[in-house]
Amino acid sequence: MTDLTLEELAGAIRQRKISVVEATEDCLAGIRRLDGRLRTFITPDPEGALRKARELDTEAVAGRWRGPLHGVPLGFKDLCHLAGLPTSCGTRTKEYFATPHDCTAASRLVAAGAVTLGKLNMTELAMGPFGDNAHHGHVQNPWRDGHIAGGSSSGSGAAVAAGLVMGALGSDTGGSIRLPAACCGVVGLKPTYGRVSRAGVMPLSWSNDHIGPLARTVRDAAIMLQIIAGSDPHDATSSHRAVPDYLAGIEARIAGLRVAVPENFFFEGVDPVVASSVRDAARTLAGLGARVEVMQLPDPQTMNDVCNVISRCEGAAVHARLYRERPDEIQPVVRARLALGFHISAHDYLQALRLRAKLTREFVRDVFAKADVLAAPVFPEPAPALSHAIEGLPEELARRQGRFSRLTRPFNGLGLPALAVPCGFSAAGLPLAFQIVGRPFDEATVMRVGRAYEEAAGWYRRRPSSSV
């Protein structure tokens, strides 16, 4: 089972080649064997998972199928509220986040037949791109011990890469789905703002938060998105726009599609191995018939500044009580980042929100008149050593975090769909990746390009040494 994709496992269960209990036990055995070291889970739920697996097997025997994920074991970032399991949000407080409604995205996956293996590790309060967590253990990169898994959805990225779960949910406020996906050599999709409900998920910055899947392949991510996308009465920002059939055109040729590679910002200060891997990926897309051109983009740094102001203000508002009443429970760097939000004026916050609207309108108009998608680096360097990433004073560390997420954050502000796809390995064996960014609500084209690339390049067939 370990080499199967989510889609293949769902098919094998449907054909009764493998039972749900067997699939679940396989994942649980992997968790027992590897997770003492990888630290991908905060709350595994083996009893609950096996109970659900037996129930689903009984239904399968009777010919009753809940949906496309019947029996597929998944994990959820520990900021998704699910009744019966605690939601720490990576803090020291076991049940930090409570809400009357279960996480809509997770609930939809469960309703489609998924088995919940448990809640996955993350950076404290989702604040930080390295995946370190002093309370629950630093998540290790399955490709190389001692290196970061990326964050903040660190457990989601590493658990998918190691084969401990067949897919996972993550959240992305400044890159927190795409960075762990890139660091761990898996696929991660930040959908368009409003495409997936955020109800039942701990907010960090409600203007910039996005929920999305992490999976081994683009097709697997498409299957998960199909289930979680769509409007939700519990999230007023969710779009009422109809959800297309994401698998319908995903294998279509990409000949003639216009792919823009940014000329400015995205390659500045980037490790040469990352830069060349992204340019190689663009050449692969050209070889598939895409029209690849270099493009000057509206300066993404302005949007980064806008996002930083908005995220800091909203994060401080959301977590003010924890910050004021129990500051000693928060890791110093998270506390330092939260602190800034209390010092930004309402004037600057509102100007940032107004600027965001203007910048988004201009970016979409100027860029997508000439291109169908963008192809750009996700991170400035392959997953650094944990010891190096998290050393130093909180202020230094906060700056380092900002640099690591500077290539992903603009697309949170812009709200555009962005897909991280593996595109090779460094000499040290660490995954490389690029992001494909599309028009608002055009996840279908973004995934079509990603799928064409992954099949041509074949990186998704490699597995890390630390895997099931």
Partner 1 sequence: MSESPTQHVDLANLTAAIERAAVDLTLAEEPSRFIAALEEAAGEREGQR
Residues that bind partner 1 (CB under 8 A): 192-194, 237, 239, 241, 302, 305-306, 308-309, 323, 336, 339-340, 342-345, 348, 350-358, 360-361, 364-365, 368, 395-396, 398-399, 415, 439-442
- Closest contact distance (angstroms) between CB of 292 and partner 1 is 21
The sign of the torsion formed by the CA atoms of 131, 134, 138, 139 equals negative
The nearer residue to partner 1, 267 or 363, going by C-beta atoms, is: 363
| Active-site residue, 405 included | no
Provide the pairing of β-strand 41-44 with 144-148: unpaired
Q: Cβ 419 to partner 1, closest distance in Å?
A: 17
Catalytic pick among 19, 52, 77, 231: 77
In the set 19, 154, 171, 176, the catalytic residue is 176
Q: What is the rounded distance in angstroms from the CA atom of residue 206 to the CA atom of residue 315?
A: 9
Q: Which is nearer to partner 1, 237 or 467 (CB)?
A: 237
Burial degree of 98 (CB within 10 A; 0-12, 13-18, 19+):
exposed
> Shortest Cβ distance from residue 225 to partner 1 (Å)?
16
What letter does residue 457 receive in the DSSP assignment? H
**Closer by beta carbon to partner 1, 22 or else 305:** 305
Closest CA to 175 of 142, 130, 217, 235: 130
Backbone φ and ψ of 196, nearest 5°? -120, 130
- The distance of closest approach from Cβ of residue 301 to partner 1 in the complex, given in angstroms and rounded to an integer, is 8
Smallest gap, in angstroms, from Cβ of residue 350 to partner 1?
A: 7
Catalytic choice (19, 88, 107, 152): 152
**Residue type at 296 in one-letter notation:** Q
Q: How far is the CB of 270 from partner 1 (least distance, A)?
A: 22
Cis peptide before 152 (omega within 30 of 0): yes
- Of the pair 32, 358, the CB lying nearest partner 1 is at 358
Contact 151, 128 (CB under 8 A): yes
CB of 440 to partner 1, least distance (A): 4
Active site residue 77: yes
Torsion sign, CA atoms 453, 455, 458, 461 = positive
In which residue are the tokens 């509102």 written?
350
Query: ∠ CA(256), CA(262), CA(267), 5° rounding?
Result: 135
Q: Which is nearer to partner 1, 273 or 344 (CB)?
A: 344
Structure tokens at 130: 């390295």
Contact 445, 373 (CB under 8 A): yes
205 tagged catalytic: no
Maximum distance among all alpha carbons in the chain? Answer: 62
Query: Which strands form 73-77's sheet, in the order they lie side by side?
Result: 41-44, 115-120, 73-77, 167-172, 210-215, 187-190, 418-425, 431-438, 373-377, 258-262, 291-295
- Positions annotated as catalytic residues are 77, 152, 176
